[in-house]
Chain A
Amino acid sequence: ALSLMELRVQNEHLAGHLPTHMKGLDEALCGGIPFGVLTELVGPAGIGKTQFCLKLSLLASLPAIYGGLDGHVMYIDVESKFSSRRLIEIGVKSFPEIFQRKEMAQEMAGRIHVLRPASLSEFTESEPSVIKIVTSLQQIKVSLLQNQVKLLVIDSMAALVTGEFEHGAPRQNTLGWHVSFIKSLAEFSRIPVVVTNQVRSQSRDETCHYFFQVQSWNETIEDRTRHDSHLVAALGINWAHAVTIRLVLEAKSGQRFIKVAKSPISPPLAFPFNITSSGILLLSDDGIELTGPDINAIHCQGHNDIINFGGESLQ
């Protein structure tokens, strides 16, 4: 393990982490988004996942002197949410000294490769089958090696997987294969991989208890009311085990929070944030430490007020 650490500290840029320029989050994550592992962003619609991904793509393409990875970015945009105009806007507002010069903006933006599979049938024209996904992901691997890609963003994973099979293979199996492949890709090329995920509502049938945990009747009543406003991450528990770092973005009492829900290197912290013209801005660098399983919960209170850009809720 010592040699592992030495290898990483010496060879890798910034000891193997991509700084997000959000000081509190970077500190919590020991430097930033780590290389070689899967980081998941999950949250309800409109909360800021794509904004985060855009900011990260920009950061990865910046030259090293500005804290970037000086590399190319592969952005797999399944739901057509990538906006290059917004990307440039973030760039201009966050790093005005770089983006004032037009050719720099062109070069930075030129390093971000956006792939837009409508369904994965765009990658190959053959009949729907597992082979399609295999070839498309393998194509990604090849281009990864060829183009010196330093960041892979998949937005969003749930759409990528659910858009596929109309018949045949059950979803769990194909997801499993995807996960293994993406993880080995990340490890092998030592790049950060960021994946976004959707949410779905929790049905009443789902419990999260073991056979030896006795639930009192009061608890079950309480649980039911909680379930109605509770969201869970899509893709199931298998996926939840497979990601290494899970960042939950949620809305609570009208304020957006980004929480480090699952991470081997960080304490469970929540940071309030806002979306600004320069990307995501943390309102406080000292996170609020959440104890208990609440860190995994995804809240959606006051969400409509936030995303309705009516003017008065923007502070």
Chain B
Amino acid sequence: MEVGRLPISASQRSKLIAAGYTTLSSFSSLSPSHLARDLKISDNEAAEIMRVASHGHRLDGSAGGCGTVNGAQTAWDMLHEEEMFPRITTSCEDLDNILGGGINCKEVTEIGGVPGIGKTQLGIQLAINVQIPVDYGGLGGKAIYIDTEGSFMVERALQIAEACIEDMSECGGLLRKDFQACQLKMHPNNILENIFYFRVCSYTEQIALINYLDKFISEHKDVKIVIVDSVTFHFRQDFDDMALRTRLLSGMALKLMKLAKDFSLAVVLLNQVTTKYIDGSFQLTLALGDSWSHSCTNRVILYWNGNERYAYIDKSPSLRSASAPYSVTSKGIRNSASNCKRIKMM
């Protein structure tokens, strides 16, 4: 329902529109204080606007009005919203299949693995895939890449961007042979331009940056993915006070979850591994400890199986545990070679 139809004063309406709220659903799930801050009006006025809005909404008869508790959403609304957002593809079909289509927006996904398995590669691939235009099934958004280890190499990002554009032109050529208007105007440089790169050199910088992201993303509303590579690095060096570390980590996790929910973007955290003594033998687990493992919504572990790289969904509220092979090629993350052979034979 349009803001223009609300029975509120003209100044309030103009403030709403100026702040970017053009439909009721855009602010119906906010708390009045949040709205008040955004519009720079008093809390009472904001509460009044929200009351009028929810009243109008109910009169509208739209299915599933806003929750009776301010700030809550009904599950039906959430289902609709989830379907609205396409997932971010990983360019590997098997991996997309076990992920239910790709990386989900509004959720925090943790991806971990041994060194050299392809975590940074996957991070770069996602930063590029989020920019796939909506016409090609992507989100057409921008990416934020937070590099804590210095493993982001621009040359590789350029290589993957070029391969992605090639794939898209091929795809476009096959599907829409006569669609001239959909000419691919993307250039690898444009793709690189849309990746906001931050380099942090200590854990305090990391925490400060994540606090700052809130403001940054409200200024750049088309950011759709935040990748942190890797979230562990600074927290593994020289931390004497483990309790402090746990507190800092959980605080950071909460902020990231809030970011994901508020701005409807995907948060991908890349993690390292460590060995742990369980049941009489050493096993590999993701670093940062047990309390951190609760902080992420989804968890994907990358590992070697024989000569192939596999991804395993370790924890997810909506996906079942499964493994899928993938490979890292000069074009980025792709289906593993053995699968390709099968297709060729057909």
Contact present for B275 and A213 (CB under 8 Å): no
Contacts of B268 in A (CB 8 A): none
Contacts of A213 in B (CB 8 A): 303, 305
- Interface residue B181 (Cβ < 8 Å from any Cβ of A): no
Q: Which of A205, A244, A264, A294 has the most CB of B within 10 A?
A: A264
Q: Which of B284, B308, B330 has the most CB of A within 10 A?
A: B284
Contacts of A292 in B (CB 8 A): 304, 306-308
Contact present for A5 and B330 (CB under 8 Å): no
- CA gap between A271 and B196 in the complex, in Å: 36
Contact present for B272 and A241 (CB under 8 Å): yes
Q: Quick one: which of A1-47 are within 8 Å of B by CB? A: 1-5, 8, 30, 34, 36-38
Q: Which of B15-23, B48-56, B76-84, B114-122 contacts A (4 or more CB under 8 A)?
A: B114-122
Contacts of A177 in B (CB 8 A): 237-238
Q: Which of A174, A210, A211, A237 makes the CB contact (< 8 A) with B115?
A: A237
- CA gap between A205 and B280 in the complex, in Å: 10
- Interface residue A179 (Cβ < 8 Å from any Cβ of B): yes
Contacts of A212 in B (CB 8 A): 301, 312, 314, 321
- Interface residue A183 (Cβ < 8 Å from any Cβ of B): yes
- Interface residue A311 (Cβ < 8 Å from any Cβ of B): no
- CA gap between A296 and B283 in the complex, in Å: 19
Q: Which of A37, A187, A241, A244 has the most CB of B within 10 A?
A: A241
Contact present for A208 and B306 (CB under 8 Å): no
How many residues of chain A are within 8 Å of chain B by beta carbon? 49
CB within 8 Å for A211 and B307 given contacts A2-B189, A242-B149, A246-B116: no
Q: Quick one: which of B266-322 are within 8 Å of A by CB? A: 272-275, 278, 281-285, 301, 303-308, 312, 314, 321
Closest Cβ neighbor of A176 among chain B residues: B237
Tell me, rounded to whole Å, the shortest Cβ–Cβ distance linking B160 to chain A: 11
**B: which residues have CB within 8 A of A?**
114-116, 120-121, 124, 145, 149-159, 189-190, 192-193, 195-197, 199, 201-202, 230, 232-234, 236-240, 272-275, 278, 281-285, 301, 303-308, 312, 314, 321, 329-330
**Could you list 19 examples of A-B contacts with CB < 8 Å?**
A1-B193, A5-B157, A36-B150, A37-B150, A180-B238, A183-B201, A205-B281, A208-B284, A212-B321, A241-B115, A241-B272, A246-B116, A261-B116, A262-B115, A267-B330, A292-B306, A293-B304, A294-B307, A296-B116
